[in-house]
Amino acid sequence: MNKVIERTMIVPNMHLLTVEAPEIAHKIRPGQFVIVRVNEEGERIPLSVADWDLDTGSITIIFMEVGASTGALAELKAGDVIPTCVGPLGNATEIKKYGTVMCVAGCYGIGSIFPVARELWHAGNQIIMVFEARSSYLLYWADRYVSLGAKIFNITRDGSLGIKGHVPHLTDIIHSLPSLPDQIVVNGCTFLMAHTSKVTKNLGIPTVVNLNPIMIDGTGMCGVCRVTVSNKMKFACVDGPEFDGHEVDWVEFLARRKQYINEETSYFRHSEPKPIEHKEGKCHS
Ligand SMILES: Cc1cc2nc3c(=O)[nH]c(=O)nc-3n(C[C@H](O)[C@H](O)[C@H](O)COP(=O)(O)OP(=O)(O)OC[C@H]3O[C@@H](n4cnc5c(N)ncnc54)[C@H](O)[C@@H]3O)c2cc1C
Ligand code: FES
């Protein structure tokens, strides 16, 4: 049982959830995730850990409300308990001194990439952040990245902040820099990761993506999270979730992610309707 310390909607459809999890807080490394079950009947869903506090023994997750489980998580209040929070799972991000690292993030990835950027900064790297969103009101946590001395670029679809456009405009940002970044890390929706990898492959910049396939056990037992990387089958939960974005079979990945779309949609159609809070925040993938 894990007690909820805080659950707040930080921007439309995006929530911050802090739960007591002292053992996880002491072991977690940037890039790792937990598996959460919101109630006894609930499914297990994987969520990255966006921050942790050793003093309070808590971990913080940023999640986007997209379906039944994240919808139930979005109703939690301080003092509630969740029956399952297992982790840390997956491999940690490889942290070393690359030189300049560009972190590209959108939707929940703006939160999940924070510990990665912080640790890379501690390792002596210069950090460049690129945030992508439909509009400026969907962006958050800029102050945290400013505290890392990061140079920040924004790409918004409506042009309300930074460059007006979409991921392909990343090329313009990269070309505006004095030199190419030495490493790129991407967190967020599948579209963002796939398109960033396409852009950076053309530029020859090593790119790591934090893959988000459907998962069940998260420990390499069920095979649901299999992905093809460098023409080899990998299990994202134990071999990843981070992989070389230039080597991922994105066509297969996108198809596998959508495999239960009818069931997910039908569940929603038959469940009790609830007031919709700002669905503009929905993922773009
Ligand atoms: C390693 C990893 C880290 C993740 N980190 C975050 C995070 O920090 N914040 C966040 O908002 N989301 C994260 N996700 C995605 C998150 O797990 C899904 O959004 C969530 O499971 C959706 O559940 P749902 O019932 O609310 O929606 P559903 O209606 O079940 O599904 C909505 C969408 O989520 C996908 N999905 C459904 N079940 C799963 C599952 N068990 N595993 C993965 N994807 C699924 C579906 O393909 C669909 O596209 C992560 C996924 C992985 C694999
Ligand atoms: S989630 Fe079951 S093998 Fe990865």
Q: How many CB atoms lie within 10 A of CB 166?
A: 16
Please tell me the predicted confidence (pLDDT) of residue 42.
Answer: 87
Report DSSP letters for 131-167, one per residue.
Answer: EEESSGGG---HHHHHTTT-EEEEEETTSSSSEES-G
Please tell me the predicted confidence (pLDDT) of residue 41.
Answer: 87
Please tell me the predicted confidence (pLDDT) of residue 168.
Answer: 83
Ligand 1 atom nearest to 64, measured from its CA: 11
pTM above 0.85, yes or no: yes
CA distance 157 to 164: 5
Q: What sign does the dihedral 30-33-38-40 (CA atoms) show? A: negative
Cite the residue boundaries of each domain of the chain with CATH code 2.40.30.10. Answer: 2-89
Determine the distance from the C-alpha atom of residue 268 to the mean position of all C-alpha atoms in its chain, rounded to a whole number: 23
Please tell me the predicted confidence (pLDDT) of residue 139.
Answer: 97
Cite the residue boundaries of each domain of the chain with CATH code 3.40.50.80. Answer: 100-257
Identify the segments of the chain with pLDDT beneath 50. 273-285
212 lines ligand 1 (CB under 6 A): yes
- Phi and psi at residue 8, to the nearest 5°: -135, 140
CATH topology of domain 100-257: Rossmann fold (3.40.50)
* Ligand 1 centroid from CA 239, angstroms: 18
Could you name the CATH architecture of 2-89? Beta Barrel (2.40)
Please tell me the predicted confidence (pLDDT) of residue 270.
Answer: 52
89 lines ligand 1 (CB under 6 A): no
Tokens coding 200: 């950076």
The SS3 of residue 261 is helix
Question: Which tens digit of pLDDT belongs to each residue from 253-265?
Answer: 998 877 666 665 5
Tokens coding 221: 């037992």
Residues with CB under 6 A from ligand 2: 215-218, 220-225, 235, 237
